[in-house]
A and B are shown apart, each in its own frame.
Chain A
Amino acid sequence: MSAASGPLTGIRVADFTWVWAGPSSTLQLAHMGAAVIRMESMRRVCVLRMLPPWLGGQPSLNRSGYFNQYNQGKRSILLDLSKPEGAQIAKRIVAVSDLAAENFAGGVIDRLGLGYEELRKVKPDIVMISMSGYGRTGPESSYVSYGPAQVPLSGMSSLSGYAGWPPMHVGMSYGDPNAGLHAAFALLAALYHRERTGEGQYIDMSQWESTMAVLGEGFLEYSMNGAQPPRNGSRVPYMAPHGIFRCAVAQTGEGLPDDRWVSIACGSDDEWRSLCRVMGQPELADDSRFRSIADRKANEDELEGIVEAWTSTLDPFEVKDRLQAAGVAAFPPLMNRELAEDPHLNARGFFVEKEHPEVGVRKHPGIPWRMSETPCEVWRAAPVMGQDNEYVFGELLGMSSDQIADLVAREVIR
Chain B
Amino acid sequence: MARALEGLRVIECGVAGAAAYAGKLLADLGADVVKVEGPQGDPDRSLGPFPGGEPHPEKSGIFLYLNCNKQGISLDLGHAKGKDVLDRLLADADVLITDYPLSQSEALGLDYERLAAANPRLVMASISPFGQTGPYRDYHAYDITTSSAGGWTWLNGWPGHPEMPPMKPFGRQTAYQAGVNAAVATMGALFWRLRSGKGQHIDVSAQECITAILEMTFAFWPYMQTPTARWGQRPIQPIDFFQCKDGGWIFVLCVEEQQWKSLVDLMGNPEWAEWEVFANRLVRAANWDALKPMIQEWVSEWNTDDLYRAAQEKRIPFAPASTVADLVSSPHLKARGFFMEIAHPAAGRLTHPGAPYKLSRTPWEIRSPAPALGQHNESILCGRLGLSTSELASLREDGVVSP
Contact = CB atoms under 8 A, between A and B. Distances in A.
Interface stretch (B34-42, B204-212, B294-302, B384-392): B204-212
B33 to A, nearest CB: 14
B168 A166 contact: no
26 contacts: A53-B219, A63-B223, A138-B336, A143-B312, A146-B255, A146-B317, A152-B249, A152-B319, A159-B170, A186-B357, A189-B359, A192-B191, A201-B361, A223-B328, A224-B50, A234-B165, A234-B168, A257-B230, A333-B148, A336-B221, A344-B130, A347-B135, A348-B205, A364-B218, A370-B203, A373-B189
| Residue in B150, B188, B228, B355 whose Cβ sees the most chain A Cβ within 10 Å | B188
A362 B219 contact: yes
A265 B142 contact: yes
Interface string A138-181: 11110111101111111111111110011111111110111001
Contacts of B192: 7-8, 373-374
B109 interface: no
A148 B253 contact: yes
A199 B188 CA distance: 18
Interface string A318-348: 0000001001111111111111100111011
A174 B205 contact: no
Nearest to B116: A372
Contact of B145 (A11, A330, A339): A330
Interface in A362-414: 362-374
Interface stretch (A75-83, A88-96, A205-213, A280-288): A205-213
A220 B316 contact: no
A39 interface: no
A216 interface: yes
A162 to B, nearest CB: 6
B343 interface: no
Nearest to A179: B356
A253 interface: no
Contacts of B231: 171
A188 B177 contact: no
A331 B202 contact: no
B157 to A, nearest CB: 7
A251 to B, nearest CB: 15
A43 interface: no
B353 A212 contact: yes
B100 interface: no
Interface in B58-104: 59, 61-62, 64-66
B356 to A, nearest CB: 4
Given A362-B223, A368-B208, A217 B49 contact: yes
B141 A212 contact: no
Contacts of A165: 158
B176 A263 contact: no
Contacts of B65: 216-217, 219-220
A344 B180 CA distance: 23
A185 B350 contact: no
Interface residues of B, number: 156
Contacts of B339: 219
B5 interface: yes
B209 A368 contact: yes
A12 interface: no
A20 interface: yes
B108 interface: no
A329 B142 contact: yes
A191 B191 contact: yes
A203 B154 CA distance: 35
Contacts of A222: 324-325, 328, 351
B223 A55 contact: yes
Interface in A18-69: 19-20, 24, 28, 32, 47-48, 51-55, 57, 59, 63-66, 68-69
Interface string A70-109: 0000000000000000000000000000000000010000
| Residue in A262, A263, A366 whose Cβ sees the most chain B Cβ within 10 Å | A263
A345 B333 CA distance: 40
Contact of B140 (A208, A223, A329, A333): A329
Contacts of A185: 25, 180, 183-184, 187
Given A218-B324, A265-B142, A267-B142, A149 B253 contact: yes
B52 A152 contact: no
B149 A334 contact: yes
Interface residues of A, number: 163
A53 B233 CA distance: 10
Interface stretch (B236-244, B265-273, B372-380, B395-403): B236-244
A271 B140 CA distance: 10
A1 interface: no
Contact of B49 (A53, A220, A374): A220
A265 B46 contact: no
A214 interface: yes
Given A182-B356, A333-B154, A371-B200, A188 B361 contact: no
Contacts of B190: 192
A4 B164 CA distance: 45
Contacts of B218: 65, 69, 336, 339-340, 364-365
| Residue in A237, A245, A359 whose Cβ sees the most chain B Cβ within 10 Å | A237
A189 B326 CA distance: 32
Interface string B246-272: 000101010110010000000000000
Interface string B267-306: 0000000000000001000000000000000000000000
A184 B184 contact: yes
B227 A363 contact: no
A183 B357 CA distance: 8
A190 interface: yes
Given A332-B148, A347-B135, A53 B191 contact: no
B47 interface: yes
B338 to A, nearest CB: 5
A33 B93 CA distance: 26
Contacts of A324: 139-140
Interface string A119-130: 000000000010
A204 interface: yes
